[in-house]
């Protein structure tokens, strides 16, 4: 059994679930990930396998057809999936955030209508805050919704939608001028329901998913833009119902805290895989008459890599458990995301160095990890944004009064 990233205090159900997912990763993901990633092919068979295991409904309540598991369970599943291929975890991650938003903030009608189909994976979610001119500066978004009777008309351009094409519901944050004193009180989240696919949408006129954005890594799963040109929706499309207009920023930030835990989990999964590849290669490759691992310089690298994985995993688990307990975890989620993503980049690079020239070959898995790890430094907020969140939280608790 692997020594790294064990999680104490798990139930038998959690242990069994993780063992099942790990076996699935070893059999169905790792052997195919390299080919699918290089060809930038959507992993339809893998997604079907995840649907069969119920992973799309992992945290959705049993009354809505899900498994009713905790954020911690989901984060550990994400860690396992990312160990196989980060893109696969991305397919369920944004879906999970939207399911969480509907579960926590949706109206009863939205829960009844969407969650059962989200639990099976029939309906998949995408999450949309960023725009071409703004990322982490949420206050600067320009997309807007204007009230027209009982309806709202949306215009603008959104960016960096994971699952933008394959999704059926997009949680979308836009500006709504409601007269609030704060810019954050003038933002509303809409649940835009569409048919999957690229181009102009038949189910929601005016909504356009132009095409797939070509990326350095994180391939297989599509990342898209979304153009809104006079998209008309009823007030009931607002997350939580028509009377929840102006609550969008606070709803989305709740989802982002969950998302940061899962980005930390993704980073842990990639780091674990990079370590597995490095320690195996270091025992097989011989230089100067001995296996690489017998050279102290390499052995010390492995020790440092393992220590970083343990530290990142522990922070990620702690942040997840705090959220599960119903407590605020903005600082802890920021710390977990910051440390795990930075350590992931370092661990992957050390594994790359241990592989030497072979690490630069597309035949070796580490080449793919070298292109995937940098994404985690910016996804769900850059490291600098995390430091801002952490420092503000510390001043909130330690400020001189």
Q: Are 149 and 215 in contact (CB under 8 A)?
A: no
Q: How far apart are CA 55 and CA 61, in angstroms?
A: 13
Residue 157 phi, psi (nearest 5): -135, 125
Q: How far apart are CA 156 and CA 207, in angstroms?
A: 10
Please work out, in degrees rounded to the nearest 5, the angle formed at the alpha carbon of residue 312 by the alpha carbons of 310 and 317.
95
**At how many degrees (to 10) do helices 330-355 and 248-284 cross?**
30
Q: How far apart are CA 12 and CA 42, in angstroms?
A: 33
Q: What is the DSSP string of 20-87?
A: HHHHHIIIIIHHHHHHHHHHT---HHHHHHHHHHTGGGTTS-GGGTS----HHHHHHHHHHHHHH-HH
**At how many degrees (to 10) do helices 248-284 and 71-84 cross?**
40
Could you report how far apart the first and last alpha carbons of the chain are, in Å?
Answer: 51
Tokens 């990890």 sit at which residue?
Answer: 369
Q: How far apart are CA 96 and CA 98, in angstroms?
A: 5
Helix or strand holding residue 355 (H, E): helix 330-355
b/e per residue 128-144 (b: at least 16 CB within 10 A): bbbbeeebbebeebebb
Tell me how far CA of residue 230 lies from CA of 142, 147, 208, in angstroms.
Answer: 14, 12, 11
Give the residue among 191, 223, 51 at the shortest CA–CA distance from 122: 51
Q: Among this protein's residues, is 342 annotated catalytic?
A: no
Q: What is the dihedral of CA 71, 77, 79, 80, to 10 degrees?
A: 170
Catalytic, out of 19, 202, 380, 384: 380
Q: How far apart are CA 88 and CA 372, in angstroms?
A: 12
Tell me how far CA of residue 200 lies from CA of 145, 156, 194, in angstroms.
Answer: 19, 15, 10
Residue 371 phi, psi (nearest 5): -90, -20
Catalytic residues: 380
């Amino acid at each position: 059994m692997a020594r790294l990233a064990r999680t104490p205090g798990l139930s038998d159900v959690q242990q069994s679930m993780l063992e099942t997912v790990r076996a699935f990763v070893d059999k169905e993901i790792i052997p195919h990930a390299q080919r699918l990633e290089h060809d930038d092919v959507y992993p339809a068979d893998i997604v079907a396998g995840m649907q069969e295991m119920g992973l799309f409904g992992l945290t959705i309540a049993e009354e809505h057809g899900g498994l009713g598991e905790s954020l911690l369970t989901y984060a550990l599943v994400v860690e396992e999936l990312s160990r196989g291929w980060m893109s696969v975890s991305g397919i369920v991650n944004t879906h999970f955030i939207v399911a969480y938003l509907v579960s926590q903030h949706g109206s009863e009608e939205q829960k009844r209508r969407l969650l059962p189909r989200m639990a099976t994976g029939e309906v998949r979610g995408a999450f949309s805050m960023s725009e071409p001119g703004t990322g982490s500066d949420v206050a600067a978004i320009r997309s807007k919704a204007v009230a027209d009777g009982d309806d709202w008309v949306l215009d603008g351009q959104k960016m960096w939608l994971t699952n933008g094409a394959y999704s059926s519901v997009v949680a979308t944050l836009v500006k709504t001028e409601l007269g609030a004193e704060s810019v954050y009180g003038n933002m509303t989240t809409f649940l835009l329901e569409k048919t999957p696919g690229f181009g102009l949408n038949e189910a929601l006129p005016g909504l356009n998913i132009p095409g797939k954005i070509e990326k350095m890594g994180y391939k297989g799963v599509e990342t898209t833009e979304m153009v809104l040109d006079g998209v008309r929706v009823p007030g009931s499309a607002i997350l939580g119902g028509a009377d929840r207009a102006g609550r969008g920023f606070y709803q989305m930030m709740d989802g982002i805290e969950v998302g940061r835990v899962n980005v930390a989990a993704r980073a842990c999964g990639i780091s674990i895989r990079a370590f597995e590849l490095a320690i195996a290669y270091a025992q097989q490759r011989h230089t100067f008459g001995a296996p690489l691992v017998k050279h102290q310089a390499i052995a010390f690298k492995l020790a440092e890599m393992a220590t970083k994985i343990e530290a990142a995993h522990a922070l990620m688990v702690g942040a997840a458990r705090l959220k599960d307990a119903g407590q605020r975890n903005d600082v802890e989620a920021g710390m977990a995301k910051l440390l795990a993503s930075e350590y992931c980049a370092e661990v992957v690079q050390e594994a790359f160095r241990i592989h030497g020239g072979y690490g630069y070959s597309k035949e070796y898995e580490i080449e793919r990890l070298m292109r995937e790890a940098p994404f985690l430094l910016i996804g769900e907020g850059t490291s600098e944004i995390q430091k801002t969140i952490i420092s503000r939280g510390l001043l909130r608790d330690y400020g001189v009064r």
